[in-house]
A = this chain, B = another copy of it.
Amino acid sequence: MIKTQIKVLEDVSLDNPIFIEALPGIGHVGKLAADHLIDELDATKFAEVYSPYFPPQVYIGEDGLIENMVNELYYLKNQGEEERDFIILVGNTQGVSPEGQYAICNDLLDFIEEYGVNELFTLGGLATGQPVDEPIVYGAATDEDKINTLKDVEVEIRSADGGIIGASGLFLGLGKLRGMSGACLMGATPGYFIDPEAAEEILNKLSALLKIEVNTDKLEERAEETRQILSKAQQREQELLNRNMPQQDDDLRYIG
């Protein structure tokens, strides 16, 4: 299998960091939450990830500058009341083929394992297909302890109903095989538009879980910026990724 290319920008030593994944998915819910987290807590980018399993294209960004398809790793140190370290994975794309998803996920797990990760959270949206009256975050986890932790912060546990497709699912599953404990937070969202309310609710739950504080005042502002900054191409790319994933009907609409 083709190796993922991980370009390390800074050698950093982390203490038992918690890993957070939020690659593009439905409603940009996970990505919006993670991008906000990175900005508010001033996280530092320490690695870039490239893969021949990404879509064969570039984006035209602001001022005509081209942007590669890329995933990025950020770190944070000594956050919150427990002074924990974090690694956050964000980016503008995911692998396009099944074996590409597996290859990238396994290579990234190899990489973060060396930093001592044994706990992880994956963030995404769960498309309801209709307006969401009250923000709600659904959850699933690798083990009962984690399920209980989710319940403590009033995440709604999904049971025997649905799958988690793409990176948000695979990081949990393949992480579990390596003995990592993890959970997925899925913010209910109508889908197909950028949803800061769902992202805010995800951030609220994540902050409670990680015992950190994240000011979400600027999230709506950021969502608006995101709407404008995100090239139309990126938005369409996301739709494309959704389309490439196994099809789903009304009861199975989660994409990580």
When distances are taken between beta carbons in the complex, the residues of chain B under 8 Å from A163 are: 57-60, 231, 233-234, 237
A44 contacts the other chain (Cβ, under 8 Å)? no
Size band of the A side of the interface? 35 or more
Q: Which residue of B has the minimal Cβ distance to A103?
A: B52
A177 contacts the other chain (Cβ, under 8 Å)? yes
A50 contacts the other chain (Cβ, under 8 Å)? yes
User: Which residues A13-68 have CB closer than 8 A to chain B?
Assistant: 50, 52-68
Q: A52-B103, A141-B65 are in contact. Are A240 and B247 (CB under 8 A)?
A: yes
Q: A233-B163, A236-B248 are in contact. Are A60 and B140 (CB under 8 A)?
A: yes
When distances are taken between beta carbons in the complex, the residues of chain B under 8 Å from A252 are: 232-233, 236
A179 contacts the other chain (Cβ, under 8 Å)? no
A180 to B147, CA, bound (A): 46
Contact B170 A57 (CB under 8 A): yes
User: Which residues A119-178 have CB closer than 8 A to chain B?
Assistant: 139-144, 147, 150, 157-166, 169-170, 172-174, 176-177
- In the assembled complex, 30 residue pairs joining A and B whose CB atoms fall closer than 8 Å, in A order, are A52-B99, A54-B98, A55-B165, A56-B98, A56-B101, A57-B165, A58-B169, A60-B158, A60-B161, A60-B164, A62-B159, A63-B157, A63-B159, A64-B147, A64-B158, A64-B159, A65-B142, A65-B143, A65-B147, A66-B164, A66-B169, A66-B184, A96-B98, A97-B98, A160-B229, A163-B233, A232-B251, A233-B252, A236-B249, A240-B247
Q: Which 7 pairs from chain A and chain B are nearest by CB?
A: A52-B102, A56-B101, A64-B157, A163-B233, A58-B173, A58-B169, A68-B173
